[in-house]
C-alpha cells in the first residue's frame, strides 16, 4: 500500500516538474521571438539614426555615401503605391463583389476561388518574371513605373480580393433583403446598401495590402527598377526606383557608409509602414458600423 502511494506520489511530482518545465519553455520561446524583434529594431536604429536628417530625404542617390539621399526612392515608392492602388483596388473590389454577391455556387466559381487562393501563394519573384515578359516586353512598357505598378497590382490582387470579401461578408443579410424588398436591383443593392457599410473593412484591407506593396523588392528588381536615378519620374513611362530597391542596392555594396544609408532608409520604410498600419487600425475602429 505504502509502496503504491509512494510510486503515485513520485509520478505526480514528475508530472508536475514536466508541466512546469514546459511552461518555462513556452514562455522562453515567446520571449525569444520578442527578443529577436527588439534586437532587429534596435540594431537598425543604432546603425541608421546618425544618417537621418532633412538632407537624407531631399538628396538623390550618390556615389559618396555621406551625400546620398532617398528622394527618388521615396517619391517612387509613393507613385508606385498610388498607381498600383488605382489599378488593383477597383478590380479587386469588383472581383470580390462578383464572388460574394453575384456568383452562383458552381464549379466555375470554385475554380476562380481556388485560383485566387493559389495566386496568393505564388512567390513574388515569379510575378516579376510575369511582369518582365508581359508588361516590359510584350506590351513594350520598358522598365517604367507603369510596368512596375501593373506587376504589383497583380501581386496585390489576391490580398485585396480576400480582404474585400471579408468586408462584404460582415454586412448583415437584412440590409440586402431590405433594399431588394424596396424593388432595387441586385447592383443597386450592392451600390447603395452594401458597399457603403462594407467600406471601412475594405479600406482597412486595401491599406494593409498597399503596405505589402511598399515593402516588396524582388519583383521590382526583376521588372527593372533602377537603384541609381537622379530625376523624379515625370510620367508613368519614366524609369523609377523605390525604397526597398534602394535599400537592396546599398546593402549589397561593401562600404560601411552605404550600410549606414541602408539602415537609415530602412528606418524611413518602417516608419512609413507603421503609419499605414496605424491608419488602417484607426479606420477599422472609427468607421466600423455596428449592428
Subset of residues 210 to 269 that bind other proteins, contact rule: CB under 8 A: 211, 214-218, 221-222, 224, 244, 247-248, 251-252, 259, 262-263, 266, 269
Closest to 149 measured CA to CA, from 206, 78, 208: 78
> Minimal distance in Å, beta carbon 91 to other proteins?
5
For other proteins, the closer of residues 54 and 223 by Cβ is 223
Q: How far is the CB of 82 from other proteins (least distance, A)?
A: 19
Q: Smallest distance, Å, CB 93 to other proteins?
A: 8
Q: State phi, psi for 224 to the nearest 5 degrees.
A: 110, 45
Comparison of 15 and 66: residue with beta carbon closer to other proteins: 15
Q: Output 49 or 54, the one with its CB closest to other proteins.
A: 49
- Interface of this chain with other proteins, residues 140 to 199, rule: CB under 8 A: 154, 157-158, 161, 174-175, 178-179, 182-193, 196-197, 199
- Which among 174, 45, 37, 149 is positioned nearest to 87, based on CA atoms? 149
Of residues 151, 139, 142, the one with CA closest to residue 235: 142
For the segment 90-149, give every residue that binds other proteins (CB under 8 A): 90-92, 94-95, 97-99, 102-103, 111-112, 115-119, 121-130, 132-134, 137
**Angle, vertex CA 6, rays to CA 3 and CA 10, nearest 5:** 140
123 CB neighbour count, 10 Å cutoff: 10
> How far apart are the C-alpha atoms of 95 and 119, rounded to whole Å?
14
User: 245: which 3 cell numbers?
Assistant: 530597391
**Contact mark string toward other proteins, 26..55, x via CB under 8 A:** xx-xx-xxx-xx-xx--xx--x--------
Which residue, 175 or 235, has its beta carbon nearer to other proteins? Answer: 175
Distance of closest approach, residue 167 Cβ to other proteins, in angstroms: 14
Nearer to other proteins, 22 or 282 (CB): 22
Beta carbon nearer to other proteins, 86 or 234: 86
Complete DSSP assignment for 197-246: HHHHHHHHHHHHHHHHHHH--HHHHHHT--S---S---STTS----HHHH
Dist. CA 96–CA 98, nearest whole Å: 5
- Reading the block at residue 30, the C-alpha cell is 515567446
User: Of residues 50-79, which lie at the interface with other proteins (CB under 8 A)?
Assistant: none
Amino acid at each position: 500500500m505504502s509502496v503504491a502511494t509512494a510510486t503515485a506520489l513520485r509520478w505526480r511530482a514528475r508530472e508536475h516538474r514536466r508541466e512546469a518545465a514546459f511552461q518555462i519553455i513556452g514562455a522562453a520561446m515567446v520571449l525569444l521571438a520578442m527578443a529577436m524583434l527588439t534586437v532587429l529594431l534596435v540594431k537598425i536604429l543604432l546603425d541608421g539614426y546618425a544618417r537621418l536628417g532633412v538632407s537624407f530625404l531631399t538628396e538623390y542617390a550618390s556615389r559618396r555615401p555621406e551625400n546620398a539621399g532617398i528622394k527618388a526612392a521615396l517619391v517612387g515608392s509613393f507613385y508606385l503605391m498610388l498607381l498600383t492602388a488605382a489599378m488593383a483596388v477597383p478590380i479587386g473590389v469588383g472581383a470580390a463583389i462578383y464572388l460574394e454577391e453575384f456568383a452562383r455556387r458552381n464549379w466555375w466559381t470554385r475554380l476562380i476561388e481556388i485560383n485566387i487562393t493559389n495566386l496568393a501563394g505564388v512567390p513574388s519573384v515569379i510575378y516579376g518574371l510575369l511582369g518582365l515578359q508581359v508588361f516590359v516586353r510584350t506590351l513594350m512598357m520598358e522598365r517604367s513605373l507603369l510596368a512596375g505598378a501593373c506587376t504589383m497590382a497583380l501581386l496585390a490582387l489576391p490580398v485585396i480580393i480576400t480582404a474585400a470579401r471579408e468586408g462584404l461578408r460582415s454586412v448583415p443579410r437584412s440590409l440586402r433583403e431590405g433594399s431588394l424588398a424596396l424593388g432595387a436591383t441586385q447592383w443597386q443593392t450592392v451600390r447603395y446598401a452594401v458597399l457603403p457599410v462594407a467600406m471601412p473593412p475594405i479600406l482597412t484591407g486595401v491599406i494593409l495590402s498597399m503596405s505589402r506593396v511598399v515593402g516588396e523588392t524582388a519583383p521590382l528588381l526583376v521588372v527593372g527598377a533602377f537603384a541609381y536615378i537622379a530625376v523624379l519620374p515625370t510620367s508613368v513611362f519614366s524609369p523609377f526606383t523605390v525604397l526597398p530597391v534602394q535599400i537592396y542596392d546599398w546593402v549589397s555594396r561593401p562600404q560601411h557608409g552605404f550600410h549606414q544609408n541602408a539602415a537609415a532608409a530602412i528606418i524611413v520604410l518602417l516608419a512609413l509602414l507603421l503609419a499605414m498600419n496605424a491608419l488602417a487600425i484607426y479606420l477599422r475602429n472609427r468607421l466600423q458600423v455596428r449592428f
